[in-house]
Structure 1
């Protein structure tokens, strides 16, 4: 008479232990890793360039700094080879490419990025800076009021100078043959609009740039406005 073997029972027990242990073994192989966060976006301009567009107080008014993430390298103030044929001290406005040049000596020019409004396309040719103003007041033209009555209508009698004024911190007023061309080179409280076409205004620069330009350009300076 054969004696029953214990092997099937032992095998089954071992198999059961292996099966029960398997999740623990697998769990030990899983590493609990926290995903590495993506690096924060970095400004496209140098810290020195970003600092030039920082906050400041001017004439008793606070000028906000421009967010470095919104600064476009193409449109920050920079010295470049003079792309024009005009002489030293001439202001050259290039609406099509969104630049303004102040011609320097030795074949160079100081280039500023600009935003171009509808009125900035209505004049081209040669003019002069008739006069300049710090924190100028502003009155929208009749055409601007008709185009955007809700925005511009409340200021039909004029808006005093200040941080909310669309002419910004400075303005240069262009005259031709003694007559006001109604063309203005001015600051803006909308720095994001630099390099863009906008609905209203003439030629706008960031407030930090128009302050710089204002200090370099005398009354009577020659201005050439290229076709837009």
Structure 2
């Protein structure tokens, strides 16, 4: 999916509602057998309605989303440094490395573009409430979005990019066309959607956005 971008100031950290518990679930890591993952904290109470930059985000019926895709702190052993983002497209998880064997895990939806690229990149910039410009090929399939190719769809709660977008470039400074972004389509989390890159529930992408600092020091690893 092709987007136009604009630089943005770093967002202020939002207060997060916590619903702490400890559970054990099973996940599969790339190339490995299933492994037990212990959840230290789960943030199921963080999906209520909220107002963000003047936009009224509706509550997500989180009880209808598989609990493994709820935002949670999990045990996660990696040699990657704190602040690294690891995207597991196969298992529909995004990890933000916290250090000390922990990571914040988010459920994701993966579109065609999400499977089209893998490797390492960095967050070149990020944007609050971005404007959406669909690619021309999408407009050919869906004539109703053709008007947005040039002028773009204004930010809002129905915008396909949701509340936040983060734009990934390779180390040569080229746009990978790979994005981490929000979505109003909460039911697409955990699925392979028809279009887009890596989508998170809006409440989750706001949380991730507030953690990520743009620049080559923030590595994004896409499995």
Out of 174, 178, 181, the residue aligned to residue 176 of structure 2 is 181
Q: Aligned pair in 2 of structure 1 residues 77, 151: CA closer, same or farther (>3 Å)?
A: farther
Post-superposition shift, 1:83? 4.8
1:222 corresponds to 2:219: yes
Give the match for residue 195 of structure 2: 200
Aligned counterparts of 2:52 and 2:58: Cα–Cα separation in 1: 11
Aligned counterparts of 2:77 and 2:138: Cα–Cα separation in 1: 33
Post-superposition shift, 1:122? 1.2
Aligned length: 180
* Runs of 5+ consecutive residues of structure 1 not aligned to the other structure: 1-45
Of the two, which has the highest radius of gyration? 1
Give the match for residue 158 of structure 2: 164
CA offset digits 1:169-225 (Å, max 9, x no partner): 000000112111111100000001100100011000000000000000000111011
Indicate conservation of the 8 Å contact 2:43/2:72, yes or no: no
Aligned counterparts of 2:66 and 2:164: Cα–Cα separation in 1: 22
Give the match for residue 146 of structure 2: 153
Give the match for residue 31 of structure 2: none
Aligned counterparts of 1:156 and 1:208: Cα–Cα separation in 2: 27
Out of 114, 133, 137, the residue aligned to residue 127 of structure 2 is 133
Give the match for residue 72 of structure 1: 66
* Runs of 5+ consecutive residues of structure 2 not aligned to the other structure: 1-20, 22-41
Q: Aligned pair in 2 of structure 1 residues 165, 89: CA closer, same or farther (>3 Å)?
A: same
How is 1:1-228 mapped onto 2 (pairs within 5 angstroms)? Answer: 49-146=43-140, 148-157=141-150, 158-176=152-170, 177-220=172-215, 221-226=218-223
* Larger RCO (CA under 8 A, 6+ residues apart): 2
Identify the structure with the greater strand proportion. 2
Aligned counterparts of 2:69 and 2:203: Cα–Cα separation in 1: 13
CA offset digits 1:8-38 (Å, max 9, x no partner): xxxxxxxxxxxxxxxxxxxxxxxxxxxxxxx
Pairwise CA RMSD of aligned residues? 1.7
CA offset digits 1:29-49 (Å, max 9, x no partner): xxxxxxxxxxxxxxxxx9x84
